[in-house]
Copies of this chain bind each other. A is one copy, B any other.
């Protein structure tokens, strides 16, 4: 047979492979300060074995089938109840369990966006979400942040300006209000309220990505954007950071009619009912509050070790915001720096990090770098930051 002509693949397929933790080059010789990978030390191994065994032997006739046993319902109920920590008061059927919150972002994009629709994001923002919005052929515009999070006053000006000038308004605004990835910053209460009002007034959806919500180093828990604009917010979170990423379960919370639309992309299926059964069994076995407290204590120590190491290595050469939760420290170097220029050298010296430009739609943030303190312990972190500093000073010609 003759070779067929080139095939006209759909335009939405991205031209290049995307980065993501699953594709991370890993080497046991490299200290990983790049991805938001939780520590393997804190996985509840024994309880997971117990939960998996019960899911198979006691519930397996149903949990291994298409529809599952009681797990999916019980997980929805747990999430609904737990979400009251962020002032979310919903019924269990307002919770859609997905394969990680990434799938929920994908479903949200497909539910809300036609090709060419406008999506507004923060600068910097999470590159995983940007990749998904690009697959949806959205037009992306980014807005800067300061120490109180996204500068909502600039969003407001842009919205009024767009309305007056007949420019396109956004259908969706993607926001990471707590322990921002990568910024480490939380959005102030006042700005949350204003953003919620704007969503109603200009009829756009807020996609609220709250993956790190449980991992807070302070007692303060600001209300979610969902609680302030329930009809125009899709709230996302995940078990990846609090149980284990390999389980691959996250969730979306939204108004019932929105959940029904998101769910249509499940095409009559459900996120792994077996994994949900395991999570359900686990949540009924462990003391979850105690488990989370242990995680918080571990991550706080790691954060403190990283900050100390940064201060030791860089002094006033770098600026950062001390994160009050989450996994990341966001570094700001002098204006002329481009951290992408020494990613490779750092890797060869034995440490990985992510260059700032990866977090910007226009790739303008070269002077930044994201360091994650989530995977490694304090000693490794100190060593990793030292190697990172070596690579930086070599790049700057100051070694």
Contacts and interface: CB of A to CB of B under 8 A. Distances in A.
B60 A135 contact: no
Which of A19, A196, A275 has the most chain B CB atoms closer than 10 A to its own CB? A275
A18 interface: yes
A8 to B, nearest CB: 8
Contacts of A113: 10
Contacts of A12: 110
A40 B20 contact: no
Contacts of A272: 99, 246-248, 272, 275
B203 A19 contact: no
Given A60-B45, A246-B68, A275-B275, A264 B135 contact: yes
Interface residues of A, number: 89
Interface in A7-59: 7-14, 17-24, 26, 35, 37-38, 40, 43, 45, 48-49, 52-53, 56-57
A194 to B, nearest CB: 11
B267 A247 contact: no
A279 to B, nearest CB: 11
A379 to B, nearest CB: 18
B61 A52 contact: no
A98 B162 CA distance: 41
Contact of A14 (B4, B5, B61, B264): B264
A242 to B, nearest CB: 12
A48 B128 CA distance: 33
B65 A245 contact: yes
Contact of A246 (B57, B65, B132, B199): B65
Contact of A43 (B1, B7, B49, B61): B61
Interface string A148-181: 0000000000000000000000010000000000
A354 interface: no
Q: Which of A3, A22, A261 has the most CB of B within 10 A?
A: A22
A288 interface: no
Given A45-B57, A53-B52, A197-B1, A264 B63 contact: no
A2 B200 CA distance: 7
A7 B203 contact: yes
A265 interface: yes
Contact of A135 (B56, B62, B135, B265): B265
A231 B43 contact: no
B52 A56 contact: yes
A289 B17 CA distance: 37
Interface in A306-345: none
A209 to B, nearest CB: 14
A258 to B, nearest CB: 9
B99 A20 contact: no
Contacts of A38: 65
A18 B205 contact: no
A349 interface: no
Interface string A262-277: 0111111111111101
Interface of A: 1-5, 7-14, 17-24, 26, 35, 37-38, 40, 43, 45, 48-49, 52-53, 56-57, 60-68, 99-100, 102, 106, 110-114, 128, 131-132, 135, 171, 196-197, 199-201, 203, 205, 229, 231-232, 240, 244-248, 260-261, 263-275, 277
10 contacts: A9-B112, A22-B68, A24-B66, A64-B244, A66-B246, A99-B272, A106-B265, A128-B267, A135-B264, A246-B273
- 7 closest A-B pairs (Cβ-Cβ)? A20-B268, A246-B274, A64-B244, A21-B66, A64-B246, A52-B52, A40-B61
